[in-house]
Chains A and B, each alone.
Chain A
Amino acid sequence: MEYGKPEMMAAAIIRQIEDGDIVFHGLASSTPMVAMKAAKAMGKEFTYLTLSDGVDHDWTRAPYVASTLTENTYTGSVATFGLDEIFDLYCSGKGDIAFLSCLQMDKEGRIAMSYLGGDYERPKLRGPGGAGSATLPPVTKKTTIWKTTHDKKTFIEHVDFATTSPPLDKEMTVITPLCIFKKPVGEKYLKVAYIFPFTTLEEVKENTGWEIDQMEVPVMNPPTEEELTALKKVDPNNILHFEFK
């Protein structure tokens, strides 16, 4: 079966999730939404929390728009658990994964989500800011950032205003269309953990705004038939491709 960057990123997201995990994604998160539904379709046993209040909604309901606040993330839920309760759960150390995105990121994994350009009072672009982004990374076991562009404007040497910074005592994973960065527990800087099969370490270096001094990194396995089948099954309207247009 054929695949491209969206399917590879979705497979990487699916592989982040382990049985027993409590997993959250927020607003405007079509990529992790489709990947998490596919992970459910593959039989992974994890708890799906999202901003719609729904807990473990009926994953067979296909997304029809990229918004993650529609009925397809609520109908068939077994409970409701609001964002305030989700934040409490994660702050008390019980949350495993939060899938978050960013406007920009630097080599320490510091994330710009509040604004770009100008300053805080008069930004050129006001971002969605720091609800989940500021609250969750310091307290989440495996914070995972997905970003559907990988270039030098996005991955920069130093972020001026960090909406959040990853804590030293936790790992952070960053999934891009080219590779996976990881900040291991106890370390300060992101490292390339895997590159995807269709790219090279050179291409990653050319598109990253900080110097990567690694000489060799493993190549992640391409999406499996099972992963691709699950993605197709849960996403007949191809919402997975929305962020890549």
Chain B
Amino acid sequence: MIHALRAGAYGIPFMPVGGMWGSDLVGIRPEFYQIMKSPFDGAEVVCVKALAPDYAIVHVQEADIYGNCRILGPSYQDALMARAAKKTIVTAERIVGSYRMQEEPKLTAIPHFLVQAVVELPGGAKPGICYPEYQGVEWDKHKAYQKAVKADEVQKFADMMLEGRL
């Protein structure tokens, strides 16, 4: 998946990946995995098809109104997703002045030109974790969410959560 997103971000149709040998996943998904020979030395490599999602939705600790984002905890593959996606929606714990980014430009994980929308949404990663803002999973709400998914009631769950009725 990471390599598929990379291919999407690089604007190339597919990408060789390391590892993967001996996995039945390669055979069962020919529309996603193929084995090719290196044009340089004939070595066989597993390749994955590029993935360019329509949207990436990324929750960050700080964003400015232009979409410059600072990720102050683990960043996982959020920046890669923003580069691979056609459009990126950012939700942020807080909106900060752009001076924050100007102080330390290297801490801007996603630059504004990759971002189409910024939403101020404190607590937006709940019931999960957003380090260091809130560091524990709210298990009762997480279980309620799992229940809602199984019952096909995600909309109702989302409404209740947004209205603070959970």
Contact = CB atoms under 8 A, between A and B. Distances in A.
A132 to B, nearest CB: 9
Given A67-B137, A71-B135, A82 B20 contact: no
Interface residues on A, range: 35 or more
Contacts, number: 86
Contacts of B135: 70-71
With most chain A CB atoms within 10 A of its CB, the pick from B24, B80, B131 is: B24
A150 B135 CA distance: 34
Nearest to A168: B22
Between B18, B22, B25, B135, the greatest number of chain A beta carbons within 10 A of the residue's beta carbon is seen for B22
A32 interface: no
A70 B136 CA distance: 7
A163 B1 contact: no
B76 A135 contact: no
A74 B74 CA distance: 8
A137 interface: yes
A64 B136 CA distance: 9
A28 interface: no
A144 interface: no
Interface in A106-153: 110, 114, 120, 130-131, 134-139
Given A82-B76, A84-B2, A130 B18 contact: no
Interface in B1-50: 1-2, 6, 17-25, 28
Interface stretch (A5-13, A85-93, A236-244): A85-93
Contacts of A52: 74
A138 B2 contact: no
Interface of A: 51-54, 64-65, 67, 69-71, 74, 80, 82-84, 87-88, 90-92, 110, 114, 120, 130-131, 134-139, 161-167
Interface of B: 1-2, 6, 17-25, 28, 73-77, 80, 129, 131-132, 135-137
